[in-house]
A and B are shown apart, each in its own frame.
Chain A
Amino acid sequence: MSEFGILSFGAYVPITRLQRSTIHATNSWFAGGLRGLAKGEKAVANWDEDSVTMALEAARDALDGIDRATVQRVAIASTTLPFADRQNAGIVKEALNLPDAVGAIDVAGSQRAATSALLVALGGNETTLVTAAEIATPKPASEREMTSGDAAAAVLVGTGAPIATLVASHSVTMDFVDHFREAGEAHDYDWEARWVRDEGFARIMNPAIAALLKKAGVEGAAIDHFLVPVAVKGVPEMLAKKAGIGEGAVADTLGASLGHAGAAHALVMLSAALEKAKAGEFILLASFGQGCDLLLFEVTAAIGSVKPRLGLSGWLARRIESTNYAKYLFHRGLLQLDRGARAEHDSKTALTALWRNRKAVLGLVGGRCTKTGTVQFPKSEVSVNANDHAVGTQEDYPLAEVPAKVMTWTADALTYSPDPPSYYGNIDFVGGGRMMAEFTDFAGEALDVGADLRMMFRIKAYDENRGFRRYFWKAAPAF
């Protein structure tokens, strides 16, 4: 029997885990009071990642083994979308190489953007891919710098054999300004934490949770997974106690291993819960931000039939420990380094050419000669096959999900890179196709000819003169 609900889920965590003790070692002379938070690690996006690239990786995680042609709408939720006017979800759509006949929506403006997007999707009847991502730029030596982390998650909602269905939902909206960030600003401004806890989390969420449970006819004690994406210590436990939810149901907020991923954190935690949930369990997701969204899910017998490619646990395990706080600051634009004259190269993008080549550039779609089977990137009118330069025979051949191998490589210390040296080389795709690619997410270990690779969607270059960023695919160590 076909039902409507969550069909699949996935997550993404950038590979670098900055040690909080390192941050504190630099800042303790100034902000000694943060010592209590100087534990564990936070996920930090690489210089070539943003909310769009991270959302795309989470979407790929969620869509593993799923026919992408079933997706009818793509949503991205974030308070750190790279473009204020250029549909960010549209970039995700192109990178997923979805058919053009899909809808798209960007959702922003609040910490509960992702749950609001998910609620809209669950309230409709379309197969919707809801993604959420956040890349924070907290002020150095701030509490937020300690508590935040970068991550993304994705949930596919639609008709089929859902792994979880929505039992009830409840939303309240109140302009409670616990913190804010004006459009165009990099940093948040926070009000006193004690006021936010007492007047915000408690006074707004407690009655709302009670109202939801009443609406659903479910006792607090019946909740198996209570997800409260709030970084403030003790808040989830306080809310659980008030609602009669068992202490054991309170989910890990992932502060030690990842940090708080802003608006994306609700879906990150949902993704984590769905990895371990069992049939018949109740999941209560409670997100806060100028009011709150409460979503009560029941896990179905289909749980376990659909698995993300890596899932949050897999992404958390794929990690490179970093104690380089200066590199993080530089990549986040918080530290000016002398980049040298080679960085002055103008990376202006011809939007006309981008449009003509959008499938190749954003979707890594190559060509396959229907006559000889030769695969190539990019696609061209005349085949590259030396024995048969067939004309006009190529069909689209997506390469993004095709494994590749290192053919040649170098570590270039001369060319400008925000993360020198720049690793690049020729790579061969399994089953045909070759290109020269940048390598990303290498831990600095020597690359070897023949090493296995997986393509990842990244920022290729920033056009600082015009406020544009150019996306393309890079090769990462296979995972």
Chain B
Amino acid sequence: MAKGIRDKVAILGMGCAKFGERWDKDEDQLMLEAYEEAMADAGIEASQIDAAWLGAAFDAQNIGPSGIPLAVALRLPDIGVTKVENYCASGTESFRGAVYAVASGACDIALAMGAEKLKDTGYGGLPVRTRGTTHDMVGITGSAPGNFAQLASAYRGVHGVGKDDLKRAMAHVSVKSHANGAKNPKAHLQKAVTMDQVLGAPMIAEPLGLFDCCGVSDGAACAIVTTPEIARALGKTDIVTVKALQLATSNGWEMQAQGWNGSYFHTTRVAATKAYDEAGITDPRSQLSLIEVHDCFSVTELVTMEDLHISKEGQGWRDVLDGFYDADGAIPCQIDGGLKCFGHPIGASGLRMIYENYLQILGRAGERQRQDNPVFALSHNLGGMPNQNVSSIAIIGKADA
């Protein structure tokens, strides 16, 4: 019986490029930006990296397919580089590859890079793309906001929440993330917004307005992982280890059978339960220090609070309005601004979340730093649509926790 990933792998270094509309940079330059920070943090040479993983979702944009773009951008020493794609969860997927490689003993040090260049399409929002020849004949391409907006109609129906109440809770999610993003020099959007601005914004996909949607950005984020023993041998004293790393992938049940009610993420619930078990967390509401979730849309963040078993089912919107997830709340959510304001360069997002959690645990988050000595930090990285998706959860924490 597998014992899970808990404490088998340590983060040696992390880096994150400035997210945003990086009109003047190609993706290889953004990857290098994240890599140089991570390497300086890790204090190693390129020759010490045994293998690398690259997560990117839209390879038609800027970098192209395969692991080659990463190997070329960083001039890696002819090591194995694997490209992974798992929708918007591609960043955590690349982290998973590197962590598993170290945990298996096959590698001493491995690198995970998440990267995306979204601002080369000529239009706002995510690129339109095919989901396969057969799907395109019977499925809906739609837009990301259109797909996620449907959570709201189902959530309201299932829990009897009024349209205005839910809209206000969703708006609070965005106002909170903008306030957090304003304190983050690497964030794409660094301006605070008011409730009135959010509530009065143009409709993108009913009931999601402009401020209910995250930024679409260019960016890259990088992690270098090794074993706790090697980390110590390299002189690290504050060791941050991986406590849990879980991935749940829809098998079509939500979309095709009639058991799911449309108001939550089945996969996130499955992954969360397994992740807490793997990390030895019995009461996430009291044990988690902070969380970074996949807030592609305000309503996604809101229902995820319940799917992570922190808020009670049907009550997440109340916790949100009570400020439970604000920067000064019990469990800050998106203290770095989240996808909403840090931005969402697809493949980079999962690693960007881990980056913030890592900084917070080490007390290196500057103006955003939580003062309650964070122990366990969770990141949740989701790809796909509510009715068919990939949900990943990574929990990191102090090695001795």
A residues adjacent to B (C-beta < 8 A): 340-342, 344-347, 349-350, 353-354, 357, 360-361, 374, 376-378, 380, 384-386, 407-416, 421-422, 424-426, 428, 432-438, 449-450, 460, 470, 472
Contacts and interface: CB of A to CB of B under 8 A. Distances in A.
A409 B134 CA distance: 23
Contacts of B252: 380, 384
Contacts of A415: 128, 141-143, 146
A380 B145 CA distance: 29
10 contacts: A340-B123, A353-B133, A376-B256, A376-B257, A384-B256, A407-B154, A410-B150, A412-B146, A433-B256, A435-B255
**How many B residues are at the interface, by size bracket?**
35 or more
A410 B138 contact: no
Contacts of B134: 353, 357
Interface in B214-254: 251-253
Contact of B149 (A354, A386, A407, A412): A412
A414 B154 contact: no
A422 B255 CA distance: 20
Given A341-B121, A426-B255, A408 B262 contact: yes
B206 A434 contact: no
A270 to B, nearest CB: 35
A74 to B, nearest CB: 22
Nearest to B261: A407
A414 B141 contact: no
Nearest to B251: A384
Contacts of A432: 258
A425 B150 contact: yes
A438 B387 CA distance: 15
Interface string B123-167: 101001110011011111111011101110110110000000000
Interface of B: 121-123, 125, 128-130, 133-134, 136-143, 145-147, 149-151, 153-154, 156-157, 203-206, 208, 251-253, 255-259, 261-262, 386-387
B258 A414 contact: no
B205 A421 contact: yes
Contacts of A407: 154, 261-262
A410 B208 CA distance: 9
B122 A410 contact: no
A412 B255 contact: no
B142 A350 contact: no
Q: 4 shortest A-B CB distances, which residue pairs?
A: A412-B146, A408-B150, A410-B149, A415-B143
Nearest to B208: A410
Contact of B253 (A384, A408, A414, A472): A384
Nearest to A362: B137
B146 A414 contact: yes
A435 B256 contact: yes
Nearest to B145: A414
A349 B133 CA distance: 7
A385 B252 CA distance: 9
B245 to A, nearest CB: 25
